[in-house]
């Protein structure tokens, strides 16, 4: 059985950023934002490190003890990132996206407009190093948060970029609330919601 997840600290973020970069190596949204190019994991690691530091202030980054899998959560009413924070952490985004940085902000704008107003835990990213996939590690990260959300009586929300993952999240009670087609010929996303039980 996989070990219980642990709350990550900033000392863990470099290793966890590498885990996420490997996990998202074939993500359709990442490829779209990078102009359809395959980007090596080492080039996207600073991007994920920035998100870990931005959302890590809420102390809801959970990982397996060996950093093989990680989930970044925002607690209810804490999901939105302010402009000053975005500007502070913009260098890794600009290095990754280059001239696409400004057009790519439209993707963020569309996602923000579609974000639910109800209180919820927001799963910003979850990923497992491909070398460790298929071992139930994502489940060990999701189960405790599902139990917590039910205990607190709040919903859960995520943005899924792969149609094949709909059934996986469905096992935890998530349902597609909306399909979002990105601008400029971008890929679809499935915006998924889970009511508390």
Global pTM value: 0.89
H or E element in which residue 49 lies: helix 41-56
Within a domain: 112: yes
Strand 175-181 and strand 188-194: the pairing is: antiparallel
Rounded distance, CA 101 to CA 78, Å?
Answer: 24
Rounded distance, CA 136 to CA 81, Å?
Answer: 31
Question: Which class for 174: exposed (0-12), middle (13-18), buried (19 or more C-beta within 10 A)?
Answer: buried
Handedness of CA 25, 43, 19, 131 (dihedral sign): positive
Within a domain: 139: yes
pLDDT in tens, 25-74: 888 877 777 777 777 788 888 889 988 999 999 999 999 999 999 999 99
Domain extent for 180 = 6-194
Q: Which residue has the higher pLDDT, 164 or 40?
A: 164
CATH of the domain at 28: 3.40.630.30
Backbone angles phi, psi at 99, to 5 degrees: -65, -15
Q: How many domains does the chain have?
A: 1
Mean pLDDT of 71-87: 86
Structure confidence at residue 103 (pLDDT): 67
């Amino acid at each position: 059985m996989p070990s219980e997840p642990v709350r990550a600290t900033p000392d863990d973020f470099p290793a966890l950023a590498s885990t996420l970069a490997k996990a998202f190596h074939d993500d359709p949204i990442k490829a779209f934002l990078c102009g359809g190019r395959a980007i090596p994991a080492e080039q996207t690691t600073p991007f994920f490190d920035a998100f870990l530091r931005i959302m890590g202030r809420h102390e809801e980054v959970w990982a397996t003890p060996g950093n093989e899998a990680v989930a970044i959560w925002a607690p209810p009413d804490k999901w939105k990132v302010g402009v000053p924070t975005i500007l502070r952490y913009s260098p890794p985004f600009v290095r990754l996206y280059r001239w696409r940085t400004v057009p790519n902000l439209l993707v963020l704008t569309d996602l923000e407009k579609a974000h639910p107003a109800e209180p919820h835990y927001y799963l910003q990213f979850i990923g497992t190093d491909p070398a460790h996939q298929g071992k139930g590690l994502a489940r060990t990260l999701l189960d405790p948060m599902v139990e917590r959300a039910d205990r607190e009586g709040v919903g859960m929300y995520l943005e899924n970029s792969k149609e094949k993952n709909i059934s996986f999240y469905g096992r935890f009670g998530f349902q597609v609330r909306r399909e979002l087609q990105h601008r400029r010929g971008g890929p679809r996303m499935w915006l998924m919601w889970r009511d508390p039980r």
